[in-house]
Amino acid sequence: MKTKLFLSLCLMAFISTSVFSQNPNQVKASTETTTETVSNVEWDSQDFDFGSLPQNIAAEAEFVFTNISKEPVIISKVKSSCGCTVTGYDKSPVMPGESSTITATYNARKMGDFRKSVRVYMSDFQPHTLTIKGNVEEDQTIGLK
What is the DSSP code string of 50-63? EEEEETT--EEEEE
Please check whether residue 15 lies inside any domain of the structure: no
* pLDDT band at residue 32 using 50, 70 and 90 as cut-offs: very low
pLDDT value at position 40? 87
Domain of residue 74: give its range: 41-137
Would you list the DSSP string of 81-105?
SSTTEEEEE--S-B-TT-EEEEEEE
Please check whether residue 26 lies inside any domain of the structure: no
H or E element that contains 133: strand 128-137
Q: What is the mean pLDDT of residues 20-42?
A: 56
Q: How far lies 59's CA from each of 10, 26, 51, 122, in Å? A: 77, 55, 11, 25
Q: Is the pLDDT of residue 15 over 60?
A: yes
Q: Is the pLDDT of residue 137 over 70?
A: yes
pLDDT value at position 18? 54
Task: Name the pTM for this structure.
Answer: 0.69
What mean pLDDT is reported for the chain?
Answer: 82
Please check whether residue 23 lies inside any domain of the structure: no
Domain count, the chain: 1
Q: What is the mean pLDDT of residues 111-129?
A: 92
Please check whether residue 5 lies inside any domain of the structure: no
pLDDT value at position 129? 96
Which region among 35-44, 64-73, 76-85, 108-117 has the lowest average model confidence (pLDDT)?
A: 35-44
pLDDT value at position 97? 96
Q: How far apart are CA 123 and CA 71, in angstroms?
A: 10
Answer with the residue of higher pLDDT: 71 or 144.
71
Please check whether residue 14 lies inside any domain of the structure: no
pLDDT value at position 138? 86
Whether the CB-CB separation of 133 and 114 falls below 8 Å is answered with yes
CATH label of the domain that carries residue 97: 2.60.40.10
Whether the CB-CB separation of 61 and 131 falls below 8 Å is answered with no
Q: Is the pLDDT of residue 100 over 70?
A: yes
Please check whether residue 3 lies inside any domain of the structure: no
pLDDT value at position 39? 77
